[in-house]
Each structure stands twice: as structure tokens, then as C-alpha cells.
Amino acid sequence: MERWYNMNAILYEMLYCSLFDRETVFMRPKHRREKGEPTSYRCIKVFKAAGLSYALNTMVNYKEIPSSLNIYYSLGKYKDGIMDCGNVLKFRHAKTEEWKAEHHKTMIEYDCLIDVDSPAHDPRSMGFAKDTTREVINLLDQFSIPYFLRFSGMGYHIVIPYYVFKHLNLNFDPDDVEHNIYGFYNNLTQRLHDIYSELIDENLHDSRRVTKVPYSLVFYNGITMMCWPFKTKGEFLTRNYTDFRVNSNLSFIGEEKIFRRGQYLFNQKEWTPACTDSFLRELQVTPCN
């Protein structure tokens, strides 16, 4: 699968979607985790496509198996990007106490992730996940809430950009439990979980939370999927989860047009802060402060 990440068109789209000014993370899938080995490699700083390719190739040369690494990015965005971690080969040691303690001080955005997770790759389970996702995005559309919509590999990711909630004036300090944005997002996803489905992860927000990078390959035991961004609601409704399975010759993409697809934001033009306020009143969710 190295060939996939050596395609410049893919690397550029991955970069444009999510990686500027954010933390990039390589993570072992559950079926490839071994005792004594780290489950993730964090604090990877990427500003250009060549840098992402270099980081991936370095991990391979560091005796990592390419198919053991899924790629994530942080929901948090930082004013000057993340700390300089130095040599790529030192990624294992980059989760310093200093970064964990201080990173929120330069955070300028933190997006909201609604994670609809299927328990298995089978038609019934994936159908439930799709039905739940459809209900949630119908609610978001009703109140003109902007969101990105992606197939995650095992369900669906709905990412609401930070600016939708910026006027609530919540902070990024993980220790300020009464006024930070993480508790607010957890309350929001908990409410969606209670209303719609137990497939919605109701407690997934903390200051270093990550989500899958669009166009990245997602590895499971015996199956490889694609984290695929949707550009229309019709595409989401008509495409089956099996459409996003990647075979060994990478024929998945076919004639798909990927240029800027991952940056498509639903309801972007219609939204105003009043939309957010109405949405929260409907859910009976209030800011922490």
C-alpha cells in the first residue's frame, strides 16, 4: 500500500483537508498492536506533501509495517502548528510532558466530532450506522449547521468546524472543566446518543482527540477501507459501505474526482450564529458557562 501514499494527488488532498497547523498521528490498528510496542506515534509535524511522504517512508524504514499504520489528525488547530519534534526517527519519544501540559495555550480552534461507529463490517450493522448518520445530518441541515461528512472505515464521521461554536466563548484549557469546549462537546454528543442511537460515541472529546484523515487507508483485520469524504448528500445516501473497500491494485478511486472534495462543507453559506443557538435549544444543550 506504500504506492497509495506515493501518489502526489492523494498526498496533496490529505494535506489540504486537515494537516496544516494540526498534529498528525500514526496509529496501529487494534489487530496489529503488540505488547511493549507503542499504539500511536504522535507529535508529527507536516506542512507539505513531501513531508507527509517522508514521515510515512521513515516509519517504514524504522521497521514499521506500512499496513499497520492508520493516519489521524488532531481536532485542535494551533497558531504556529505543533512543537518541533526534530528528527522523524524520534517520533516515539515526542509525547513530552511539556507538550501535553502546554499545547492548549497555543490552540486556536477545536472542531466537534460526531463519531457514528458500527460494531462490524456487515450489512445490518453498517445499515444501522448509516441510518443513524442520516438522522443526525437531517437535524444539522434543519438548523443549517455546517459539517464535513466522511465514511470512516467503520461508520461515519461528522465534523462540525469550530467557528460554529466560537461565539459561545468556551476555552481550550483541559483543567477548566466548567468552561472548556471539551465538556460542552461531550454534552452535545451525549444528547445525540440519547436521542438517536448508541452507535454515537458520547464521550470522545479531550484536548488531544484525533480523527481519521480523509483519503487515508484504514486497516482492519483482513480488510482495507478508505476514509472517504462525501461531496453531496445524494452520494452519501446511494453509496454502500462496500464501495469504499480498497483492493490490492488500488482500483477503488477509478474515475472519481478527488480535487478539493475533502474540503466540501455542507451548509456553509446558510449558517449564522443564530442557527447554532436554535440548534442547541432544540437539543436542550447549554454551554458550560
> Any idea what the CATH number is for the domain that residue 44 is in?
3.90.920.10
Nine cell digits for residue 174: 483541559
Residue 98 belongs to a domain: yes
Question: Residue 151: enclosing H or E segment and its boundaries?
Answer: strand 148-151
Residue 186 belongs to a domain: yes
Residue 241 belongs to a domain: yes
Residue 86 and residue 143: Cα distance in Å, rounded? Answer: 45
Of 1-15, 166-180, 218-232, the range with the lowest mean pLDDT is 1-15
- Give pLDDT, residue 56: 73
Distances (CA, A) of 188 to 53, 160, 195, 285, 288: 36, 12, 11, 6, 11
pTM score of the predicted model: 0.90
Residue 289 belongs to a domain: no
Query: Which tens digits make up the pLDDT trace of 68-121?
Result: 789 999 999 998 888 766 554 454 454 566 777 788 999 999 999 999 999 999
- In total, how many domains does the chain have? 1
CB neighbour class for 8 (10 Å; exposed up to 12, middle 13-18, buried from 19) = exposed
Q: Is the pLDDT of residue 289 over 80?
A: no
Domain that holds residue 63: 4-83+90-283
Residue 128 belongs to a domain: yes
Residue 216 belongs to a domain: yes
- Give pLDDT, residue 204: 77
Residue 288 belongs to a domain: no
Residue 106 belongs to a domain: yes
Distances (CA, A) of 32 to 38, 188, 212, 226: 11, 33, 17, 18
Query: Which tens digits make up the pLDDT trace of 7-23?
Result: 777 888 888 766 778 98
Kindly report the length of the chain: 289
Residue 275 and residue 285: Cα distance in Å, rounded? Answer: 14
Bridge partners, residue 245, by sequence: 225
Of 62-76, 107-121, 202-216, 233-247, the range with the lowest mean pLDDT is 62-76
Of 132-141, 174-183, 277-286, the range with the lowest mean pLDDT is 174-183
Of 197 and 51, more confident: 197
What's the distance, CA 67 to chain centroid?
A: 19
